[in-house]
Structure 1
Amino acid sequence: MPILPLPTTMPTIAPRLRTRICENSRRWFSASYRKQEVLSIHQLPERIRPTYTKRSDSKLLSLQWEQEPRNVMIIRKPGVAAVGDAVVEFAQHLKATYPSTNIILEPTVAANLHYRLPFPVFAIPPPSRSTPFPFTQSTYPRTPHHYQYPRIRPAGYDSEPGEGDGNDGAAAGPESFASVELQTNPYHRKTDILVTLGGDGTILHAASLFSTSRAVPPVLAFAMGTLGFLGEFKWAEYKAAFAALRGSNASSSTTETSPSSTVRVLQRNRLKAGVFGANGERIGGEWGEYEGIEDAHAMNELSIHRGREPHLAILEVYIDSHFLTEAVADGIIVSTPTGSTAYSLSSGGSILHPSVPSLLLTPICPRSLSFRPLVLPEDAKITLKLSERNRGREVEVSVDGRRWGGLGPGQEVRVWLESLAKGSGEGGIPCVKRLGTPSAGDGWVGGLNGLLKFNYPFGEEE
């Protein structure tokens, strides 16, 4: 029987595995098809910011884009398969309808879903070259991990990131980075639109990723969670809602004569808070922030709680440097109008309309029954100082439900309302409202009645 010669070339029986190398020479492995990749967020163009104008017919703002937005970040509720399917459906719709759109996902989400998408998605690279892809993102709410700027690549440099540089992924020294003293959250520089798929907790998580950013991207929230008090749109409306937001540009929008032609935005207030020592100096270390901003930002509230300590906390409360009272309680909450329907409400606080710029001071289980919640004007400065007589070693400080640090005797937290800059969108969290919403209160009133069952008759069924 004759022996047939072996073929000179073997047929391709499987797609070629690719090895991606990040901009900072860290290897990023992905065993997937060529276009099913997770790429570095640093390859994206810089962020495009919209402009906001005050309307004469409502307290809401009108949003306009000078350029079409390109980079869309999708934040999902974890642990729910239906929400993961919605992320895939939404991303596919964006890419098919708006081909220039770039999809940004958190690293863990990108690791779990990128193989289901026929196009690349973008995420933050691993924090070190020893961390393979996929990796689990940090739980630190304000910055995904301690990140250095990638090396500056010469203009016209077209080769693959990390290829042809002669070091084959070797660790780079400090001189290879553009800056090591200024650490910037990449989401702040790359995200044009922020989309959330989940409940109120998902919106808070998305806001926490931009808590040190002076200008938060417009937030398009779809209610797919348990409560959904802050979610403006239903999932079935995602095509029309995003089309309205993306198409609200200066060239196509009209004047006040056609109020339904532009997207309306409710600019929700945020708290700012800083921690200071007994001598008035800022506290660093655990309290350090990024981008030169030493203050934390909160969408809902800042709370001081005794934590695991068995004794009640003793807190000195000052308003505009004037001593108000010495509180003996489990803790104290300082909330925004948005947060007035959250932790503060559970502690007996008042409900505030989201368009009322104000601060709410609410005690948590005070020893004195005469310590009642207070509503303070927007320019009030609140100082909460842990008394030297406090029997516990420290109390916990949380921002939007996440631990921010510990406060020792003699140290204090200063809280005030973030100022809102007109037109630039700096300050606050711009939340997209429905086109047919004439005022800021329609959804809020419906939420009180439908979700919180405000003044619901006892013993009666719906």
Structure 2
Amino acid sequence: MALAPRNILVTKKKRTPNITESVIEFTTHIRSTYPSINIVFEPESARELHHQLPFPVYTYNQGPGTPQHLSDKTDLVCTLGGDGTLLRASSLFSHAASVPPVLSFAMGTIGFLGEFKFREYKRAFREVYMSGAPDTYSTLSDSLEGVPPRLPTSPEDPLDRPLSYADIRGKAMGSNRTARILLRNRLKVGVFGPDGTRIGGAQGDGDTYALNEVTLHRGSSPHLKIIDVYINNRFLTEAVADGMIISSPTGSTAYSLSSGGSIVHPLVPSLMLTPICPRSLSFRPLVLPSETPITLRLGEKNRGREVEVSIDGKTITEKLGTGMEVRIAGEEVRKSDLGWQGGVPSIVRGTMGKEDIAEDHWVGGLNALLKFNYPFGDQEP
């Protein structure tokens, strides 16, 4: 029997007053309607909001064990902002093997990854709450740090116990459940020195997981970079370019798209290899099977001796020097006794009834947000 989520991590777009107001409205509704739920914020947001909320809020200590710790303790992630907010939420689990389900509200500039409008938050959360959750949940004890709250004004849950879906009247289960999961595959990334030793291995096996892309770029250097590209451990080419992008299907509509890469549906298990401004007219973007290992090595011929490496838009501290390499492959997604392991489970709309067809967010996003095949000039009436 599935249990309702108890610990919800809420992430928001920073330094945006209207979204802060929406977060207050959203979390106040959650606590008043589902009083057994605990609200967790990122440390900066917790400091900003705890005096404005009439209930206890929690945060976490940032440190080496944070990703796995959050993964073990969080049942659901709610994001209020744009695609960058969702990427930041995903990056909190960039060293964890599993990610909690993500409910995203599009409140940013484009919001291609956001499934719901904020005005739908009551209905969206109710559908998620009643559609299913992991079989296990964690309570907030010493492992999450409480921020001193104002005194609560809403009553506590009189039962103070896990709420199973069998207890919920009007539950949505089986083929009629109204909230469904789109499992977005991630990239598994490792950085290695010229001698093959792993760099930055403090987190578990040292791999970092990326939802969108991994980018090698010349940065402020005026020189093109020479990057040796290997696929399946076989040499493919010596690329002379501003940089290279390895993207997931989710990331195919981001930097890769701006660089001429293909648009790939998130359900297609694949990797995209896209050059950035190559010194060649025949270096076209490649689409490869997701399990294909790709190695990008900084060649010895480079005039500039380093290249910047960024993962989901965040530049890593260690620049890539001559002879160093980045190894990328699709994350393994598998079924286990605890459910699906790997990927980012994004909550999307399901069927709303027998005669209704679920809205395809991806197709709608291509048309409405990316203006797919939009004609030049004025359209005829």
> TM-score under structure 2 normalisation?
0.85
1:190: which partner in 2?
73
Measure the CA separation in 1 of the matches of 2:279 and 2:229: 15
Measure the CA separation in 1 of the matches of 2:69 and 2:22: 25
Cα deviations across residues 283-336 of structure 1 (Å, max 9, x unaligned)?
2xxx2342x131011100001011111111100000001110000000000000
Structure 1 residue aligned with 2:107, among 217, 220, 224? 224
Cα deviations across residues 395-450 of structure 1 (Å, max 9, x unaligned)?
01100010123111111111000011126221110000113379998111110110
Instruction: Flag the 1:185–1:261 CA change in 2: closer, same or farther, 3 A.
Output: closer
Measure the CA separation in 2 of the matches of 1:440 and 1:99: 31
2:322: which partner in 1?
409
1:445 maps to amino acid: V
Measure the CA separation in 2 of the matches of 1:87 and 1:183: 23
Measure the CA separation in 2 of the matches of 1:453 and 1:349: 16
RMSD: 2.0
Measure the CA separation in 1 of the matches of 2:194 and 2:358: 42
1:99: which partner in 2?
35
SS in 2 for 1:454: coil
Alignment of 1:201-220 (within 5 A): 201-220=84-103
2:24: which partner in 1?
88
SS in 2 for 1:375: strand
Structure 1 residue aligned with 2:188, among 260, 269, 272? 272
**C-alpha contact 1:316 1:387 (8 A) present in aligned 2:** yes
Measure the CA separation in 1 of the matches of 2:357 and 2:69: 34
Alignment of 1:159-170 (within 5 A): none
Q: Does residue 15 of structure 2 align to residue 79 of structure 1? A: yes
Alignment of 1:255-334 (within 5 A): 256=174, 259-261=175-177, 263-283=179-199, 287-290=200-203, 292-334=204-246
1:36: which partner in 2?
none
Structure 1 residue aligned with 2:56, among 95, 98, 120? 120
Unmatched 5+ stretches in structure 2? 133-163
Displacement after TM superposition at 1:110 (Å): 1.1
SS in 1 for 2:31: helix
Structure 2 residue aligned with 1:434, among 349, 356, 363? 349
1:202 maps to amino acid: T
1:242: which partner in 2?
125
**C-alpha contact 1:266 1:440 (8 A) present in aligned 2:** no
Measure the CA separation in 2 of the matches of 1:239 and 1:345: 34
Structure 2 residue aligned with 1:425, among 340, 351, 365? 340
Displacement after TM superposition at 1:186 (Å): 3.5
2:268: which partner in 1?
356
1:443 maps to amino acid: H
1:99 maps to amino acid: P
Alignment of 1:35-74 (within 5 A): 66-74=2-10
**C-alpha contact 1:212 1:289 (8 A) present in aligned 2:** no
> TM-score under structure 1 normalisation?
0.70
SS in 1 for 2:242: strand
Q: Does residue 358 of structure 2 align to residue 443 of structure 1? A: no
Cα deviations across residues 81-130 of structure 1 (Å, max 9, x unaligned)?
110011111111111111111100111111111111111100125xxxxx
1:457: which partner in 2?
375
1:391: which partner in 2?
303
Structure 2 residue aligned with 1:336, among 248, 251, 255? 248
**C-alpha contact 1:355 1:440 (8 A) present in aligned 2:** no
SS in 2 for 1:459: coil
Instruction: Flag the 1:324–1:230 CA change in 2: closer, same or farther, 3 A.
Output: same
Structure ID, larger Rg:
1
Measure the CA separation in 2 of the matches of 1:439 and 1:428: 26
Measure the CA separation in 2 of the matches of 1:377 and 1:183: 31
Displacement after TM superposition at 1:243 (Å): 1.1
2:22 maps to amino acid: A
**C-alpha contact 1:353 1:441 (8 A) present in aligned 2:** no
1:73 maps to amino acid: L
SS in 2 for 1:457: coil
Instruction: Flag the 1:419–1:368 CA change in 2: closer, same or farther, 3 A.
Output: same
**C-alpha contact 1:317 1:382 (8 A) present in aligned 2:** yes
Measure the CA separation in 2 of the matches of 1:377 and 1:439: 30
Instruction: Flag the 1:71–1:251 CA change in 2: closer, same or farther, 3 A.
Output: closer
Identity %: 55
Measure the CA separation in 2 of the matches of 1:311 and 1:71: 49
Measure the CA separation in 1 of the matches of 2:67 and 2:367: 42
2:91 maps to amino acid: S
Displacement after TM superposition at 1:66 (Å): 2.2
1:134: which partner in 2?
none
Measure the CA separation in 2 of the matches of 1:362 and 1:378: 15
Cα deviations across residues 65-90 of structure 1 (Å, max 9, x unaligned)?
72221101100011111100111111
Unmatched 5+ stretches in structure 1? 1-64, 126-143, 147-181
1:108: which partner in 2?
44
Instruction: Flag the 1:277–1:183 CA change in 2: closer, same or farther, 3 A.
Output: same
**C-alpha contact 2:74 2:100 (8 A) present in aligned 1:** yes
Cα deviations across residues 246-277 of structure 1 (Å, max 9, x unaligned)?
12248546775xx2225310000100011122
Greater Cα shift, 415-424 or 312-321: 415-424
